[in-house]
Structure 1
Amino acid sequence: MPEPTADDQPDTEPRTDGAGANIVSPDDETPTWGERKRRRAGLPRLTYEYFERARREDQDLREESTYVERDVLGFPAWPHELVRNLALAAFFVGMLLLLAATLPPHIGNPANRSVTPSVILPDWYLYWSFGLLKLGPLNPDLAALGGEKVVSDKTYGVLANVVVVGTVAIVPFLNKGSARRPVEQPFWASIGVGGTVFAFTLSVYSAKNLVPMSPTLLFDLTFILPPITAAVAFAVLKTMREGYMYDLNRRYYRLRPPK
């Protein structure tokens, strides 16, 4: 009889998780989804397996790596990322249900249908769109038509919404770079800063009857502040870019020295 080798010995390493040995199988023995489902262990066990396997794979890859600084390691979307996202989603949904049960919103007096409210505003995330509907001063008067407007102010506001939404939708197709940080592409980052400020100023202008400021001045600031902030952001990021790219290239060649 051949003597048993070290590989044939049972795994007697003590575990501290109380779940027994062989929680995470090797790659060639990873159970399928059907096998996982037949276990009937539920989301907690599957979540534990995900984090334990992710930790072990990360540790193995880091030990095998020869880089001085190591990149962030990724894992497959199924089942690793999906299980993690389900766990996080379940946690936040539970928190929302808890807050809704313990802190119910106060219900005010019923609305009077015969009285028009003094302030009419949509939900806060649509203030910018509501502000575009109030751009009547930009609607040009044509002398050839006797000083009349080609389209009404309401139609002009709807067209302004179409233009703005269309511009936002086409930006991802124009910017196809691989940059992940604003400092890597100052131009597009400044465009984003200017657009964000423009949405904010439009939101403030939509509630101009609540703002203690002259409507004319508020209208001017709505279109003056976005380009100014975009120019400042571009100048700052452009100044930071040289030092950032130097450090990035130095790290890249340290990780992957040229052959």
Structure 2
Amino acid sequence: MDVDGSSPEPRSDGGSVAGVPAVPPGDSTPTWRERKARTTGLARLTYEYFERARYEDQVLRSESTYVERDVLGFPTWPHETVRNASIASFFVGMILFLSATMPPHIGPPANPSSTPAVILPDWYLYWSFGLLKLDPLNPELAILGGQKIMADRTYGVLANLVVVGFIAIVPFLNKGSARRPVEQPFWAAVGVGGVVFAFTISLLSVKNLVPMNVDLLFDLTFLLPVVAGVVTYAVLKTMREGYTYDLNRRYYRLRPPR
């Protein structure tokens, strides 16, 4: 009831009065934005986050005197929390959907009395398993009568220690503040070469399943990473001069030297 005793009329602007449900104007169907404005919970919070971020970014662009946009930081709550919760909810939903629609096939139980023809670790350990198959690189010393100084298995374990140690020490060797590969072509080339080596050494670990000559595969395992690193370094080195020129020009245009 209103102050004058009359009954409130339903509003047609998306709101409600005294518990009376909102109705669209006339016989029209509410738009997606109108329905979104009346939702609650995580969906509403996510919508408000993106709209607020877009609005603040638009205001900052219109008020800024710089040519490029300023760096805008958002607080952890609710901006970062809502965004991360939305992304996590999406991927969890996708995992549940795939597990419900495409369940994994369960084969027959393993026979403990027979050894499988091919024994492999999990796919993300193929690179480590491939380092255990570097038998041709283990030298046979003439002073020992053609014998190897260590067993092939021990040689593979030491190869794992060398590779893991190199990966662990790289952050201490590269102390630069570059954020783009073009700013430091050498370390970018090292990274590309390492990724390619991880892929090729993984193929070497499953050489019985790869339709390729074993000797050729062994040569490509160490040749392709070097080629990929050299090509990456050459391309980024060529791009660096133009990148530096554009960066300096943009910097001095934004903040002229005093």
TM-score class normalised by the smaller sequence:
0.7 to 0.9
The residue number in structure 2 matching 1:153 is 152
Q: How far did residue 195 of structure 1 move?
A: 0.8
Aligned letter for 1:96? I
Contact 2:189 2:232 (8 Å CA) reproduced: yes
The residue number in structure 2 matching 1:57 is 56
Q: How far did residue 150 of structure 1 move?
A: 2.8
Matched, 1:123 2:122: yes
The residue number in structure 1 matching 2:47 is 48
Larger Rg: 2
Aligned letter for 1:223? F
The residue number in structure 1 matching 2:169 is 170
1:116-157 deviations in whole A, cap 9, x for unaligned? Answer: 222222222211111001112212223333433332211211
The residue number in structure 1 matching 2:135 is 136
The residue number in structure 2 matching 1:100 is 99
The residue number in structure 2 matching 1:189 is 188
TM-score by length of 2: 0.79
The 1:18–1:221 alpha-carbon spacing in structure 2 relative to 1, beyond 3 Å, is: closer
Give the number of the structure with larger relative contact order, counting CA–CA contacts within 8 Å between residues 6 or more apart.
1
Find runs of 4+ consecutive structure 1 residues off by over 4 angstroms: 13-17
The residue number in structure 2 matching 1:240 is 239
Q: Which piece of structure 1 moves more, 178-187 or 58-67?
A: 58-67
SS at 1:208's partner residue? coil
TM-score by length of 1: 0.78
SS at 1:209's partner residue? coil
The one of 10, 25, 37 equivalent to 1:18 is 37
1:189-221 deviations in whole A, cap 9, x for unaligned? Answer: 111111111111101111111223332222122
Q: Which piece of structure 1 moves more, 84-93 or 62-71?
A: 62-71
Contact 2:37 2:44 (8 Å CA) reproduced: no
Q: How many residues align?
A: 227
1:229-248 deviations in whole A, cap 9, x for unaligned? Answer: 21111111111111121112
Q: How far did residue 178 of structure 1 move?
A: 2.1
C-alpha separation in 2, matches of 1:99 and 1:194: 34
The 1:216–1:48 alpha-carbon spacing in structure 2 relative to 1, beyond 3 Å, is: same
> How many percent identity over aligned positions?
74
Aligned letter for 1:87? S
The residue number in structure 1 matching 2:214 is 215
Aligned letter for 1:48? Y
SS at 2:203's partner residue? helix
Contact 2:183 2:240 (8 Å CA) reproduced: yes
Q: Which piece of structure 1 moves more, 46-55 or 64-73?
A: 46-55
C-alpha separation in 1, matches of 2:56 and 2:172: 36
> RMSD of the alignment, in Å?
2.4
Q: How far did residue 42 of structure 1 move?
A: 4.2
Q: Which piece of structure 1 moves more, 211-220 or 161-170?
A: 211-220
The residue number in structure 1 matching 2:257 is 258
The residue number in structure 1 matching 2:25 is none
